[in-house]
Amino acid sequence: RGKLERVYYDSKTVGVKRWMQVYTPVGYSKDRKYPVLYLLHGIGGNENEEWTKGRAHVVLDNLIADKKIEPMVVVFPNGNATTNTAAGGRGGGRGAGFGGWGLPFQNDLIEDIIPFIETNYSVKTDRENRALAGLSMGGGQSLNIGLGHLDVFAWVGGFSSAPNTNPPEQLVPDPDKATRQLKLLYVSCGNKDGLISRSQGVHAYLKEKNVPHIYHVDEHAHDFQHWRKAVFHFSQLIFKPTPK
Ligand code: FER
């Protein structure tokens, strides 16, 4: 089993100390450097530690034990970057521009969280060793921020992405550039999920523009049956020779 710890960091973006959970794999050692997956929760999450309550770290433990994935550091931030550190989910969630979930979280991730992780953990610091994925609200954030920062992330995944997802032509304004830069773009949703039209729209646009991606639809709804499978699948594709 790896280790989950709560760490506090100074968010210059928000102006307060915030916290996140960091998973280090079994045998984590400063003698080696690890790739990093940033994994974002949904609107009901974080103060409830959504991904880890959903046992995502156990899925990763098992895949590492089976040598199916690279040992990696996984960061579970709070995706609602407001001064109310207890807010997590709905607090400020649906305001104009989606409150703390929009630009504030983008800045918190890029300017505060990633530098904190790269200073305090033994990790690789190039784009091909950073992945960004999330569920629902966090799926929308991952597509928005990840595709908007191809210089930072080479692997991007949106699971059951919510209505905060930018329109596809805004997500990928330059299909050739995205095709060149991305190692993986993964879009998944359950076919019983009321939000599936967002994922369908992204997939249709990517297909039309010939941007390589994985589009995975299963039989689940907006729930952890889908998300556990998504993280099981996505984590086995990242930090490896490109599946393209
Ligand atoms: C919405 C429906 C769902 C919405 C967000 C969600 C902001 C997010 C759901 C989740 O994160 O689980 O209309 O608008």
Write out pLDDT tens, residues 58-101: 999 999 999 999 999 999 999 999 876 555 444 444 444 578 89
- pTM here? 0.94
Per-residue CA distances from 221 to 46, 128, 170, 207, 228 (Å) = 20, 31, 27, 24, 12
Ligand 1: centre distance to CA 42 (Å):
8
Is the pLDDT reported for residue 150 higher than 50?
A: yes
Residues within a 6 A CB radius of ligand 1 = 42-44, 94, 98, 136-137, 162-164
**% of the chain beyond a pLDDT of 70:** 91
Length of the chain: 244
**What pLDDT shows up at residue 242?**
67
| Two structure tokens written together for 173 | 């304004």
**What pLDDT shows up at residue 209?**
98
Is the pLDDT reported for residue 123 higher than 60?
A: yes
Ligand 1: centre distance to CA 43 (Å):
6
Least confidently predicted of 93-97, 121-125, 147-151, 209-213: 93-97
How far apart (Å, rounded) are the C-alpha atoms in residues 137 and 118? 25
How far apart (Å, rounded) are the C-alpha atoms in residues 211 and 180? 9
pLDDT band at 49 (very low <50, low <70, confident <90, very high): confident
Q: Ligand 1: which atom is nearest the Cα of residue 42? A: 11
Least confidently predicted of 22-31, 80-89, 152-161, 186-195: 80-89
Ligand 1: centre distance to CA 163 (Å):
6
pLDDT in tens, 3-26: 999 999 999 998 889 999 999 999
Report the chain's mean pLDDT, rounded to a whole number.
92
Task: Pick from 136, 160, 227 the residue to mutate for probing ligand 1's pocket: most ligand atoms within 8 Å of its CB.
Answer: 136
**What pLDDT shows up at residue 85?**
55
